[in-house]
Structure formats: structure tokens, C-alpha cells
Amino acid sequence: MRAGRPRQFDPPVALGRATELFWSRGYEGTSLQGLLATTGLSRSSLYQTFGDKHRLFSRCLEYYREKTAAAMWQRLEEAPSGRAFVELMLRRAVDERDAEGGPRGCLVLNTATEFGHRDPDVTHQVQLALSAFRAVFEEAVRRGQADGSIRSARDPHRLAAYIVAGMGGLRTLVKADEDRNHVQDALDVLLLALDRD
């Protein structure tokens, strides 16, 4: 019995390209034709491999969460201190202003803004991602408290939640093209939380 025709594409590569498109244009702004053109898939290949647009988007959110969290853990391992990691991540959010093509923000937070609570599956994916990001910051706070670079004795879980919320706010300000000095002021106040109880 002959096996089915081999796939003529690499699904992870196609998923990565679809993620980039959703990240740039949002869910509503991404058309099926745009997905086909970007991934190089035929309509039948896309549906057979990923399902419809909504299921593909869900897979993209999962892909983004895993890739982003893995990169964050790697940066934490390479950081000289817990505080250095937190500062790096917050400053990267601010520096997105100068990104080629303009700031895109975070796909997870962009999605939360676009969908709100109207889609339980998407809401679940957003919550999983935020939880994954908080976990990295929580470990960074623990390390910072242990190495003395973070003087606040606040509960690491609560401080991590504050950092994630603050980073989302910074990215929103940057996307809104807020005055650079105002964004820097917000960053400075966020960093004060690492030193005060």
C-alpha cells in the first residue's frame, strides 16, 4: 500500500510565519489569502495541517508563548543578577519604539486587547502565556532577592505580577508613540518597586 504524499513544507516554519503575520496585523486584520501567501501553503494544506483560521491562531499563540518564555528563561540564565534581567526586559519593551517597521508590542497583550473576553479559547491561551511570563519574572525576583540586587522583600509572585502589568503598560505607551520622557518616567517608577516594600 502506498503511503500518502509527503508534505512539501515544514509545519513549524509555516507556523512561525503565520505567527509573525498575526503579530503584525492582528487576528481580524489577517486574511486567509494573506496567510496562504505568507506561509506558502495551499488552502487544503493549511486546513489539513492546522485547521481553520481560528485554530491556526490558537496554535500561533501557543507557539509564541513557548518561544517567548524559552527566550526569557535563557536571558535569565545569562543575566548577571535577577535585577539585571528585569531591567533588561523592561528596557527592551521601551526600545521597541526604534524597531524596524515600528513597535508591534506583545502578541499576547495585543490579542487580549483585540478579543477581550469574547472568545474563551483565546482568553485561555492569553492566560497561559501571562502565567508563563510571570513565572520567569517570579524566579528573577527570587534570584534578585537572594543575590541582593533586589532589595524589596515583597512576595516574588506579587512583584512578578506587577512587573508583567508594568511591561504591558510600557509597550502600550510605546505603541501609542507617547513622549519618550514620559515612557522613561514610567520605567523609572516601575524599577523603584524592586527597592521598596
51: left (phi over 0), alpha (psi -120 to 50) or beta: left
User: What confidence category does residue 9 fall into, taking pLDDT thresholds of 50, 70 and 90?
Assistant: low
Q: Tell which residue, 63, 31, 59, has the closest CA to residue 121.
A: 59
d(Cα 90, Cα 170) in Å, to the nearest integer? 8
What local confidence, expressed as pLDDT, does residue 99 receive?
81
The sign of the dihedral angle between the CA atoms of 135, 141, 147, 149 is positive
The C-alpha angle with vertex 131 and arms to 89 and 162, in degrees rounded to 5, equals 55
Could you tell me if 56 and 12 are in contact, meaning their C-beta atoms sit under 8 angstroms apart?
Answer: no
- Which residue in the block uniquely carries the three cell numbers 496585523? 25
Answer whether residue 1 shows pLDDT above 60: no
Q: Give the distance from CA 28 to its chain's centroid.
A: 19
Answer whether residue 2 shows pLDDT above 60: no
State which H helix or E strand residue 123 sits in. helix 120-147
pLDDT per residue as tens digits for the range 17-63: 999 999 999 999 999 999 999 998 889 988 898 989 999 999 999 99
User: What confidence category does residue 4 fall into, taking pLDDT thresholds of 50, 70 and 90?
Assistant: very low
For each of the domains in the chain, give its residue range(s) and CATH number, in order of start: 58-193 (1.10.357.10)
| pTM flag (> 0.85) | yes
pLDDT per residue as tens digits for the range 79-111: 999 999 999 999 999 998 888 878 899 999 999
Mean per-residue pLDDT of the chain: 92
